[in-house]
Structures are given as structure tokens and as C-alpha cells.
Amino acid sequence: MKRLLLSLLCLCASPAPGQDAPKPDAASTIPAALTPSPRQEPDNAKRHLSFNEISKKGEAKLVFLGDSITRRWETDGKDQWAKTWAPYQAANFGIGGDRTENILWRLQNGNYDGLKPKLTVLMIGTNNTGHRMDPAADTAAGIKAILEALRAKQPDMKILLLGVFPRGEKPTDPKRLRTNEINALLPPLADNKNIFFQDISTTFLQPDGTLTKEIMPDFLHLSSKGYDLWTAAIAPRIKELME
């Protein structure tokens, strides 16, 4: 895993053409987005262990992997989940507040062990921006590491990588701009054989690029209507990939 993480540093540390390579710095470290890290909060630790138990049973055929936006399929999106995703024997592996490094840790510590789903829907990265304003290249490198970890665990599984959802009311919001930068780096991660990319950001936006409280009450998390939009945007692709 250390070799994998070091190889991914090229996404965030390579010098621009014509520039000299940076001199070695004893204080330099692997970016936080690439450093597997557990969540210590009791609820999150318990939830992680519950995912391990689901994995051991090996029954889930569709997995949603991500942060609180994914977790809230169980609350604001529960009706859509029951109607659209539950028939696929779906499992929700979302933990609120997770960043890329937290999912990397989860995959090193039991998540997916014994599980062989046909498809994983991955959407992660907004907390790398919201918590730390990580450079876009760091977050993209973290997402790449997750994809490679998933492929190593389940090479026959397909992955639908979603662009990070927009956040911030206006298109000029700094966090929105950083999210756009992340999403611009994600399409090359898809090989269209096992990994597929879909950016549904515009689904949630008004024509002028703003977000409304009707769709995202806090300009980050989806309302029930937002989950309706999410469902409609990806359902045809999931049906195709699950066949």
C-alpha cells in the first residue's frame, strides 16, 4: 500500500514542464488525502464494523460508498432507496464526514472483505475541500487510490465514479470552485471497462449556476427532492452496469 501511495504523489507533486524538480525535503510527507486514517467517533467506528459484517455475508450486489451525502440515503433519500436501490440487494457504506483517507483506511480494515458486488457507486471528496481545502490534485489522488484499492479487492466489480456534487450557493463560492477543479481531474481515472465516470453536477443547479435550498437546504446535503434528482440521473446507468 505504501508503494501505491507513493506512486500517486505524481498527481500532486510533479513539477510543471520546464520547472526544476523540487529538492528533497525531510519535512515533506504524503498528503493527508492519501494517508489512510480511521474515524474514532463511536458511531462511525460502529458503522464501519457493521460494514465489515455486511461484507462477510457477501450478499450485497450494489454498494454506495461515500460520506454523509451517501449515508443520507437512509434518511432524506429513504423512499428512493426502498423503491429503486433495495431491489438490487443494495448496501449503504456511507459515513458522515469521511474524506478520501478515511475510505482508504476502511478498505484496509475489513470493508469489502468477502463482498463481491457487481457494482459500487463511489462519490467522495467534498469533505477534503470542506474540512481542509485540500488541493484538487490531492483529493483526486486520494480518489485514484480508492479506485485502485477497490480494484485490488474485487477485480471483477464495476465502479461508477461520480463527480463530487456541487456545494455553496453561488458558482463563485470558493468551495464550489475547488470542487470543479477536482471533477476536472476525474475523467481520466475511468477506463470504461471496469471504471466509469459520470458527473451529474448540473442536475442540481439552476440555469444561473446557483443551488437552491429546495434541493440542498444547507448548500451541501440533499433534500428528498435532491435524492429524487440523484436517482433519476444515475438509474439508467446503474441498470446498464448491473446487467
Residues catalogued as catalytic: 68, 218, 221
Distance (Å, whole) CA 134 – CA 71 = 22
DSSP sequence for 110-175: TTTTT---SEEEEE--HHHHHHH---HHHHHHHHHHHHHHHHHH-TT-EEEEEPPPP-SSSTT-HH
> H or E segment at 47?
helix 42-57
* Gap between the Cα atoms of 55 and 37, Å rounded: 20
Indicate the DSSP class of residue 207.
T
